Amino acid sequence: MAKPTVTIIGPGAIGGALAAAIVSGGGEPILVARTPFDRLRVEWPDGSINVDADCHTGVGDLTPSDVVIVATKATHNPSILPHLEACLGPESRLVIAQNGVDHLERFDPSIVGDAEVIPAVVFLPAERPGPGHVVVGKAGRLVVPSSPGAGVVASLFADTFVQVDQTDDWITAAWRKLVMNAPSGAISVLARRGPEIYADNATRELLRALMDEVMIVAAAEGARLEPDLPEKYGRCFEANAGGHTPSIVFDRLAGVTTEWRERNAAVGRIAARHGIDVPLNNALTTLIRLGEPDFGAIDG
């Protein structure tokens, strides 16, 4: 049986790693990038590829694919709409492999049409030294809601370094990651430093307090998280101080827009909907926003 056709929009660190996994499993993904490249070079702990890349920057040559994976940062979503529209057909599965919990709200139904939308929680440490070149730190996984379309997506990654887990409780999986991402990303962006800051006791106390706020919002949304999750994450950050620096820090250092809306502002917006007070999160959200290149979008 022929492999499903695949288009990956945004072959950066995550998208390039996903493309490499698909190639290693016998697929031939089409890549849509801002900066074109001829070769896709990806290294992971027990393998690598160096192959010709079917890379496109324009819309003209794109046609609908069985599976379309959006792996851009959410901040780039407005710029990819023409490409997305060209890649989607009524039988397509649209995988949104981005941070946050509000994946289903990110693209207008007029663009998505009848395509099945599959939100994905991504666990895949990877860095992009340059266009078409990605280094993967360890095997990764995508967590998606169970569905027939999710099964098609999982088939693309069978026996590769990326595992696709289907779940009937995607909300819990998404909030489990956001409990970690929103607090740690906020602190790191404002400190403009990597995870070495979590060797500091006061920093870990702030991290824990922020996580506690996000946990309350997660519970209100129906996520079933273990009560000691912040404590577990805190110990993990302490043990791994000096490890992988999140891309949100590199974005702040480069002076480009970060995913503060999808991380911390989303927590504040959802908390307000439930009448929950999250003062620490909201304070840090304001400070992050004021350091953004587009901070002119001032509240009020």
What was the pLDDT predicted at 300?
Answer: 47
Say whether both 195 and 47 belong to one domain.
no
Q: Is residue 94 part of a domain?
A: yes
CATH value at residue 235: 1.10.1040.10
The DSSP symbol for 225 reads: -
Identity of residue 114: D
Cβ distance 31 to 56 under 8 Å? yes
**What CATH number does residue 47 fall under?**
3.40.50.720
Same domain, 36 and 90: yes
Structure tokens at 36: 């074109």
Burial of 12 (C-beta count, 10 Å sphere; 0-12/13-18/19+) = buried
Phi, psi of 10 (to 5 degrees): 100, 65
Is the pLDDT at 299 greater than 60? The verdict is no
Helix (H, G, I), strand (E, B) or coil at 190: helix
Residue 86 has pLDDT above 80, yes or no: yes
Examine the residue annotation and report whether 232 is marked as an active-site residue of this protein. Answer: no
- Quick one: 184 and 241 in the same domain? yes
pLDDT tens sequence across 132-153: 999 999 999 999 999 999 999 9
Tell me: do 108 and 238 sit in the same domain: no
Looking at the structure, do residues 161 and 12 belong to the same domain, yes or no?
yes
Residue 43 lies in a domain: yes
Judgement on whether residues 23 and 124 belong to the same structural domain of the protein: yes
pTM: 0.93
Whether 131 and 198 share a structural domain = no
Q: Evaluate whether 31 touches 40 at the Cβ level (below 8 Å).
A: yes
Q: Which of these three, 135, 167, 199, is where a domain ends?
A: 167
Predicted pLDDT of residue 246: 82
Shared domain check, 128 and 15 = yes
Domain range for residue 117?
Answer: 6-167
Residue 196 burial (CB count, 10 A): 15
Which amino acid is present at 210? L
Domain count along the chain = 2
Q: Which of 132, 167, 202 is the last residue of a domain?
A: 167
Please name the residue that has the structure tokens 């499993």.
Answer: 25
- Flag whether 42 is in a domain: yes
Q: In terms of Cα–Cα distance, which of 93, 70, 97 is closest to 151?
A: 93
110-138: average pLDDT: 95
Mean pLDDT for the stretch of residues 201-223: 97
Are 215 and 151 contained in the same domain? no
pLDDT in tens, 21-44: 999 999 999 999 999 999 999 999
pLDDT for 243 equals 73
- The whole-number pLDDT of residue 43 equals 96
> 53-68, pLDDT tens digit by residue?
999 999 999 999 999 9
Same domain (yes/no): 141, 188: no
> In this structure, is residue 1 part of a structural domain?
no
Asked if residue 203 belongs to a domain, the reply is yes
Q: Is residue 299 in some structural domain?
A: no
Residues 126 and 198 in one domain: no
What is the residue whose two structure tokens read 């946050």?
100
Q: Please report which confidence band the pLDDT of residue 275 belongs to, taking 50, 70 and 90 as the band edges.
A: very high
**Of 3, 73, 138, 177, catalytic:** 177
Percent of the chain with pLDDT over 70: 97
Residues 134 and 183 in one domain: no
The pLDDT-based confidence of 1 (bands split at 50, 70, 90) is low
- Cα(171)–Cα(209) distance, integer angstroms: 22
Task: Give the domain-ending residue among 112, 133, 167.
Answer: 167
Q: Confirm whether 297 is domain-assigned.
A: no
- 103 occurs within a structural domain: yes
Task: Please tell me the distance from the alpha carbon of residue 239 to that of residue 255, in angstroms, as a whole number.
Answer: 30
pLDDT at site 40: 97
